[in-house]
Structure 1
Amino acid sequence: MSQELKIDIQRTGFPVKIGTIELWFDSSLENLRRFFNVDNLAQEKLKEAQEKAKHIHFPDEIDIEDIDIEKVDAAFDVNKEFIAAQYDIIFGDGTFKKIYKNYPDILALEQALEVVGIAIAKRINEQEKERTEQVEAKKNEALNKKAKKK
């Protein structure tokens, strides 16, 4: 009988904790392309949300005594979908629902996005330095082996 070979693969990325919810940021090269394009992807989602709410006219000025709850809800939904799209693009589909279930505060979650983006960018830079150091170490090791053979 042949023995099974088992090769472990470690995911590239790091945990990110938002409140009490621990998420995983995939920092693979493939996912980084999505991350650095998050604004464009989120803008596409925003356009979709705006299309859904297109039939509603949002007034330029709001008169507190004459508030149309339907219009307020529609505006809220467009903004919420935009924020949700950004979380889902960064951490994967369904992430926003998971966070919003525990923290139903769209303003707080919107503000947290900037903090999350800055923290992730910083960690990506640290990982890139680590990757560069690893490549340099392997390169030097190969050069040393080659020099010893001569």
Structure 2
Amino acid sequence: MSKELVIDINRTGFPVKVGSVELWFDSSFENLRRFFNVDELAQKKLKDAEEKAKHIHFPEEMNVENLDEKTIDAAFDVNKEFIAAQYDIIFGDGTFRKIYKEYPDILALDRALEVVGAAIAQRIEEQEASRSKEAKKKQKEYLNKKAKKK
């Protein structure tokens, strides 16, 4: 019987805490493409949400007199779906539901998105600097080994 060979894989990324909700940001090259296109992807989801709300008539000019509960709910739902799409794109499907369950305040979660995005961008820059430094170190080691062989 042969002995099993076990190779550990460490996921690329870092934990992010939004309020008391712990999340994981996947900073792999594959996921970074999604992160940098979050606005574009969220706009597509927003269009889907707007399609669902098309049957609701939104007045040209909104004021207290011409708003009814159905219109307010529809506008809220479209906005909520847009914010949810951004959280789900950044952290994975179901993330918004998890955060909203803990913090049912769409305005606070919308404001937090900007902070989350800026903090993640800063951490990505730090990781890239570290990756670049490591790559240069490996390149230097390789060139030194190659020079010694000659």
**TM-score computed with the length of structure 2 as normaliser:** 0.97
Q: Distance in 2 between matches of 1:34 and 1:65?
A: 42
Structure 2 residue runs without a partner (length 5+): none
Q: Distance in 2 between matches of 1:63 and 1:100?
A: 28
AA of the residue aligned to 1:103: Y
Q: Distance in 2 between matches of 1:60 and 1:88?
A: 31
AA of the residue aligned to 1:5: L
Matches within 5 A, 1:1-150: 1-150=1-150
AA of the residue aligned to 2:143: L
Deviations 1:75-109 (A, max 9, x none): 00000000000000000000000000000000010
**TM-score computed with the length of structure 1 as normaliser:** 0.97
**Alignment coverage as a number of residue pairs:** 150
Report the CA distance between 1:147 and its aligned residue.
Answer: 1.8
AA of the residue aligned to 1:113: L
CA RMSD of aligned residues (A): 1.0
Q: Distance in 2 between matches of 1:107 and 1:143?
A: 54
AA of the residue aligned to 2:22: E
The sequence identity of aligned pairs, in percent, is 74
Q: Distance in 2 between matches of 1:63 and 1:3?
A: 73
Q: Which runs of 4+ in 1 moved over 2 A?
A: 60-67
Q: Secondary structure at the residue paired with 2:17?
A: strand
AA of the residue aligned to 1:10: N
